[in-house]
Chains A and B, each alone.
Chain A
Amino acid sequence: MQTDAVGRAWREGVSVVVATSAYGLSFGALSIASGLDLWQTMVLSLLMFSGGSQFAFIGVIAAGGGIAGVASAGMLGLRNALYGMSMRRVVQPRPMMMPLAAHVTIDESTAVALAQSEPRAQRVGFWVTGVGIFVGWNLATLAGALLGDLLGDPKQWGLDAAAAAAFVGLLWPRLKARQAIAVAAASAVLAAALLPVAPSGTPVILAAVVGVVVGLTNWFGPKHESDLPDPGGPEHREGQHA
C-alpha cells in the first residue's frame, strides 16, 4: 500500500519533470533573444530557479527596464515563500537539507507533493519533482541558449510571441475563480494603458497594485475562503472565513 503511493509519487514527479524541463528550452532561447549572454542565462536558471520570475526578468530587461526587472522577478517569487511555509511541514527537511529544499520549492514540486495522499509519498513527490526539474531545467536552458545563439533575429522566429504565450501558460491554471479572472482582466488592461506613458518595466509593477488591493479587500471574492484556488493545500483551511 505504501509502496503503491510512493510509486505514484515517483511517476507523477517524473512526468511533471519532463514536461516542465522541456520549456526550459524556450527560456534559454528567449533569454539570449533578450540580450543576455550564455552565462547570464545560466546564472538565472541555476540561482534564481523559478520559471515565472525568470521569464519576467528577461521580459522586462528586453523592454529596456532595469531595476524594474528585479522588482518584477522578486514579486513573482513571493509565492514561493508561501509554498515554503507549507512544504516545511510536509517535507520536514533536516537543517542541513533546508537550503536545498527551499531552493527547489517551486510551483511544480509543491503541487506534486500536495497531490500525494500519505506523508512518505509527499516527501518523495517533492524531492523527485524539485531536484528533477532543477537538473532538467538547467540542461534545457543550456540547450535553448546555445540554440538561441544560432537563431539570429528573434522576431523572425516568432520568439517575441513565444514570450507572451509563456506568460499566458503560467497564468492560465490560476484563472479558476471569478475573482482571479477579474483581477487578470483589470491588470492586463491597466498595464496596456500604462505602456505609452509609464517608464519601461513599470506598467507591470503598477498593474500589480490591482492584485494587492483586491487581495486585501476581497472585492469580487467568494464568501467562503474554501472557494479560492489553493496552492498551499486544504489541510489548514477548514473553518476559516474572509
Chain B
Amino acid sequence: MSSLTGFFGSKKGMVATGLFIGIAAAILQKLGNPANMGICVACMERDIAGALGFHRAAVVQYIRPEIIGFVLGSLIAALAFREFRARSGSAPMVRFMLGFFAMVGALVFLGCPWRALLRLSGGDGNAIVGLAGLAAGVAVGVLFIRSGYSLGASKKTYTAAGWLMPVIMIALLLLLLGNTMWGASKSLLYAEPEKFAPFFSEKGPGSQFAPVFVSLGVALVIGFLAQRTRFCTMGAVRDVILMREMHLMSGVIALVIGALAANLALGQFTPGFAGQPVAHTAHVWNFGGMMLSGLAFALAGGCPGRQLFLSGEGDGDAAIFVMGMIVGAGFAHNFAMASSPAGPGLWGPAAVVAGLSACVVIGFSMRQKA
C-alpha cells in the first residue's frame, strides 16, 4: 500500500494533467491565441512585459490572463490542500539572473519548453532541435547537481510575503479587465494615451488572444492541477537523466499526445521546418537558446510553468525567478537579443554564449562541500 494517496500523486493524475494542458492549449489556439502558442509561459510573460512598457516590440504586448490564472489556480489548490507555505531566501539574486537568462534563451528559440512541446505537436520540426537543446542544457545542469550544486535552503517567512505574487497577479487582472472590458481605458485618463501603459498590440501575436474568461478559466484549472501533481517539463527531463524516473515525463508525453490529437482534430497540424508560425530555422540558435533555458531551469529547479505554480503556493524564490524572466524579456527585446521569424536578433547568439557562460560559473561556484 503506497502512502502516496489520491489521484493527484498517481501516474494517472500526472497523465491527466498533461493531456488537459495539451488539449486546452490547442483549443486556446483555436479560440484566438497565436499559432502553436496556445500556451507559452515565456512568450506570455514577455507579452505582459510589453503591455507594461518594459519593451517596445509593438507586436507582443498583452496582459495574458493565462499567466495570472496559473498563479491563482495554484494558490487555490495550495490553500485548499493546506500546502500554502510562505518561504524565501534561497539565493534570490542568483534565481533572478537564472530567470533572466532562461527568458533570453527562450526568446532566441521563440518559446519555453511548453511551447516547444506544442510546436512539436503542431508539426514544427524546429521544435525537435529546440527540445534536443533543452535536454542538453538539463543534462549539463544534472552534472552540476551531481557534483553538489545547491542554492541552499529557503526559510519560512511571513504569510503576507507569500501572498505578494498572487496579489501582483490580481492587480494585473484588474489592469486587464479595466482596460479591455470595464471601459476604464487609458484614452479616458490621459491627453496622450499612446505614451502611457498598458499597451496592447494592434497587430501581430500580441493582438491574437482567446476570450479573456476562457483563458483565465482554463489557466486556473491548469494551475490547480499542476500544483497538485507538481507538473514540470524541465523536471521531467532531469528526473530521467538523474534518476531514471519517468513520473514527470509521463505528463510531458501526455501533453504532446493530447495536443497532437487536438491539433489533428482541429486542423492545426502542419508538418515542416520552413515557414512555421512564430519560428525560425536557425538550428544552431534554436538548439543554443533552448540549451541556455534548460540549464537555467535546471539550476533553478523548475521550468517557467513550475516557477509560476510555486510562486502561487508562497515560494518567494520562484517569484523572483519569474520577475527575472519578465525583466529578461524587456532586455531581450530592447537589446535585439530576441529572435523573429526572420532569425536570431543581432545580439541573440552573443547573449546565448554569455548566458551559458554565466550559468556555468553559477554551477561551478555554488557547490556545497560533501
Chains A and B are bound partners: no
By a beta-carbon cutoff of 8 Å, the part of chain A in contact with chain B is: none
